[in-house]
């Protein structure tokens, strides 16, 4: 498992984890993100149980595990959060932000930590981590019917879940180097997994109003700087909700 620091102003950090060479081939590669702010940490989409040992060991190089106070599950998929029972056995006091729509479903993983769920309303939520306020941005139907992204106004980073994701080859760089060629890796994923053009365009209108300098998806590579606008323009023009035939 490789990690890379995306932002660090001394008290506030963003780190991405991914490109795990030890993961079984049958498991899709994922990116996990950690924010550390004034000694408190939050994990976004902590990942599947298959990669838990690798993620834990990498996270553990950076923080005391007990510092993890919050988890965001952007949606309900197993690659997003099937490791949650394991994380919660290590951090039983941590809060789990999840769409109100999924709480009762996720509880099937084991109900002992249900009390730690914070049901996020459809409109989103501002949450406090250390000295920072983070924004949970509605991203419903992108692709899940109850879906949230996270925007950090301080770091100007948007954690975008499956939006911006791409199925990339092994050892693909963490950052997109050539946006135009990266499109071919994103396009099939977005066409198939994003079911609604209406939801997509609503999300794009919302994101354009934010001051985003980096888009961090759960699969694939991170887009930054001018690539953010390029991505939003490309995504806006893309017709989604169809198979590539």
**Contact pick of 39, 110, 188, 225 for other proteins (by CB under 8 A):** 110
Q: H or E element: which one contains 101?
A: none
DSSP letter for 161, please: T
Cβ closest to other proteins, residue 48 vs residue 161 = 48
What CA–CA distances, in Å, run from 199 to 25, 163, 245? 32, 12, 23
Question: Does 86 sit near other proteins (CB under 8 A)?
Answer: yes
Stretch that binds other proteins, among 82-90, 117-125, 157-165, 236-244 (CB under 8 A): 82-90
Question: Does 27 sit near other proteins (CB under 8 A)?
Answer: no
Question: Does 85 sit near other proteins (CB under 8 A)?
Answer: yes
CB burial class (10 A; 0-12, 13-18, 19+) of residue 93?
Answer: exposed
Question: Does 65 sit near other proteins (CB under 8 A)?
Answer: yes
Residues whose CB is less than 8 angstroms from the CB of residue 228 and which lie 6 or more positions away in sequence, other chains included: 212, 213, 214, 215
- Residues in contact with other proteins, total (CB under 8 A)? 15
**Shortest approach of other proteins to residue 36 CB, angstroms?**
14
- Residue 171: CA count within 13 A, CB half-sphere: 0
Binding mask 32-51 for other proteins (x = CB under 8 A): -----------------x--
**Contact pick of 7, 28, 53, 224 for other proteins (by CB under 8 A):** 53
C-alpha span between 68 and 55 (Å, rounded):
13
Question: Does 107 sit near other proteins (CB under 8 A)?
Answer: no
**Shortest approach of other proteins to residue 54 CB, angstroms?**
7
- Residue 2: CA count within 13 A, CB half-sphere: 10
Q: State in Å, rounded, how far the first CA of the chain is from the last one.
A: 35
**Shortest approach of other proteins to residue 20 CB, angstroms?**
11
Cβ closest to other proteins, residue 22 vs residue 171 = 22
Question: Does 229 sit near other proteins (CB under 8 A)?
Answer: no
DSSP letter for 122, please: T
Point out which residues bind other proteins (CB under 8 A).
Answer: 49, 52-54, 56-57, 60, 64-66, 85-86, 89-90, 110
């Amino acid at each position: 498992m490789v990690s890379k620091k995306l932002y660090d102003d001394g008290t506030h950090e963003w780190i991405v984890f991914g490109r795990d060479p030890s993961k079984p081939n049958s498991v899709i590669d994922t990116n996990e993100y950690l924010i550390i702010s004034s000694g408190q940490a939050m994990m976004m989409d902590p990942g599947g149980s298959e990669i838990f040992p690798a993620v834990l060991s990498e996270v553990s190089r950076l923080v005391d595990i007990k510092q993890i106070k919050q988890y965001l599950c952007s949606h309900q998929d197993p690659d997003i959060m099937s490791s949650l029972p394991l994380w919660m056995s290590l951090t039983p006091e941590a809060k789990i932000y999840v769409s109100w729509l999924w709480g009762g479903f996720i509880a099937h993983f084991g109900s002992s930590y249900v009390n730690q769920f914070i049901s996020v309303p459809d409109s989103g939520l501002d949450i406090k981590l250390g000295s920072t306020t983070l924004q949970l941005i509605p991203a419903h139907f992108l692709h899940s019917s109850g879906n949230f992204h996270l925007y950090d106004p301080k770091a100007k980073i948007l954690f975008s879940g499956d939006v911006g994701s791409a199925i990339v080859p092994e050892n693909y760089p963490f950052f997109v180097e050539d946006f135009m060629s990266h499109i071919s890796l994103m396009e099939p994923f977005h066409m198939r997994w994003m079911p609604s053009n209406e939801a997509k365009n609503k999300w794009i209108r919302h994101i354009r109003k934010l001051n985003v300098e980096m888009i961090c998806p759960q699969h694939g590579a991170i887009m930054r700087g001018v690539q953010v606008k390029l991505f939003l323009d490309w995504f806006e023009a893309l017709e989604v909700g169809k198979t590539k035939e």
